[in-house]
């Protein structure tokens, strides 16, 4: 072995060792700063973790783009709506006056809100775009109660790291981390454009998460649970999406 190839072998060996040490240190930091998504296992884990970690660092407090009123889409597209069961139809028949939103888990006082209760909390409106993973989009004005107000009213406790949300459709539940849960644009939406939120668009209550793709904005919300871990929910992957093959974090 001549000098050049020995030097080469040493350098590449050192570089490889540094690389592995770097990855180990990065993984440790990522765990410490909670930059690892719940669906980080499996072959797509590295990509998902890189995306989630990079975007959490980059977007910690950034606001989703808002648009002028003139850009509101004349033909918003409702997409598929979950099958509405008998219980939903009964609630709809009475104008959703008996609709309840339960808030439990890591909160000081578990509460249940009617739609009228929600409307008495501070109201926020935003003109944001719904972005579907398929590629299409539309802009609407969304009016509702910021999720943070509801969490404050229930007294969210410091150990809470995620808010899990459930809909009337048992197969459609999801969760967001506190960065999105406490974000001012994350909105329990009960009105859209000029009227109440129509059923095809998620009425009477939809959680809008405008910094993520449309599938995180679950329709027909009935329950919120604050949790310190997602392990106990479903298969422990954070939401129904990864169980169906889709990423938990959808900020892409």
Identified binder of another protein from the candidate list 7, 16, 33, 77, rule CB under 8 A:
77
Least Cβ distance, residue 55 to another protein (angstroms): 5
Residue 26, helix vs strand vs coil = helix
CB of 119 to another protein, least distance (A): 27
Instruction: Work out whether 53 is an interface residue with another protein (CB under 8 A).
Output: no
Strands (E) located in 132-220: 137-146, 162-167, 173-177, 187-192, 195-196, 206-208
Segment 207-246, which members bind another protein (CB under 8 A)?
210-213, 244-246
Q: How buried is residue 155: exposed, middle or buried, by Cβ count under 10 Å (0-12/13-18/19+)? A: middle
Q: Are 152 and 107 in contact (CB under 8 A)?
A: no
The verdict on 156 binding another protein (CB under 8 A) reads no
Name the pairing type of β-strands 221-227 and 100-105.
parallel
Binders of another protein among residues 108 to 137 (CB under 8 A) are: 129, 131-137
71 binds another protein (CB under 8 A): yes
33 binds another protein (CB under 8 A): no
- If one asks whether residue 141 binds another protein (CB under 8 A), the answer comes out as no
Alpha helices in the chain (DSSP H): 3-32, 45-58, 86-93, 115-120, 147-154, 178-181, 240-243
The smaller minimum CB distance to another protein, of residues 105 and 238, is found at 238
In the complex, least distance from residue 180 CB atom to another protein, rounded to whole angstroms: 9
Query: Where does this chain touch another protein (CB under 8 A) — which range of 64-72, 95-103, 156-164, 221-229?
Result: 64-72
Q: How many other C-beta atoms can be found within 10 angstroms of the C-beta atom of residue 224?
A: 26
Q: Any contact of residue 55 with another protein (CB under 8 A)?
A: yes
User: Distance between alpha carbon 76 and the CA centroid of its chain, in Å?
Assistant: 21
How far apart are alpha carbons 251 and 55 in whole angstroms?
8
How far apart CA 102 and CA 163 sit, in angstroms, is 12
**Six-digit token string for 21:** 């040490």
Q: Which is nearer to another protein, 96 or 206 (CB)?
A: 206
Judged by CB under 8 A, the residue of 1, 15, 69, 75 near another protein is 75
Rounded to an integer, what distance in angstroms lies between the CA atom of residue 150 and that of residue 39?
Answer: 27
Per rule CB under 8 A, count of chain residues that contact another protein = 41
**Residue 38: CB atoms within 10 Å:** 22
Q: How far is the CB of 74 from another protein (least distance, A)?
A: 9
Cα(148)–Cα(209) distance, integer angstroms: 12
Query: Near another protein by CB under 8 A, which window of 39-47, 102-110, 169-177, 223-231?
Result: 39-47
Q: Which residues bind another protein (CB under 8 A)?
A: 44, 46-48, 50-51, 55, 58-59, 62-65, 67, 71, 73, 75-77, 79-80, 129, 131-139, 210-213, 244-247, 251-252
């Amino acid at each position: 072995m001549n000098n050049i190839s020995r030097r080469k072998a040493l350098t590449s060996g050192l570089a490889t060792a540094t690389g592995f040490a770097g990855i180990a240190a990065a993984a440790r930091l990522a765990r410490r700063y909670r930059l690892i998504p719940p669906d980080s296992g499996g072959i797509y884990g590295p990509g998902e973790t890189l995306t989630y970690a990079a975007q959490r660092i980059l977007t910690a407090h950034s606001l989703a783009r808002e648009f002028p009123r003139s850009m509101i889409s004349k033909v918003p597209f409702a997409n598929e709506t979950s099958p509405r069961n008998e219980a939903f139809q009964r609630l709809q028949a009475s104008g959703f006056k008996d609709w309840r939103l339960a808030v439990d888990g890591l909160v000081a006082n578990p509460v249940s809100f009617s739609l009228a209760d929600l409307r008495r909390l501070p109201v926020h409106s935003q003109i944001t775009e719904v972005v579907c993973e398929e590629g299409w989009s539309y802009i609407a004005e969304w009016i509702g109660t910021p999720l943070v107000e509801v969490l404050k009213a229930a007294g969210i406790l410091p150990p809470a790291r995620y808010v899990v949300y459930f809909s009337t459709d048992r197969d459609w539940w999801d969760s967001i981390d506190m960065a999105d849960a406490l974000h001012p644009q994350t909105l329990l939406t009960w009105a859209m454009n000029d009227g109440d939120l129509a059923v095809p668009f998620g009425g009477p209550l939809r959680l809008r998460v405008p910094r993520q793709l449309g599938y995180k904005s679950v329709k027909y919300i009935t329950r919120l649970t604050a949790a310190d871990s997602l392990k106990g929910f479903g298969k422990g992957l954070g939401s129904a999406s990864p169980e169906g093959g889709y990423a938990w974090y959808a900020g892409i």
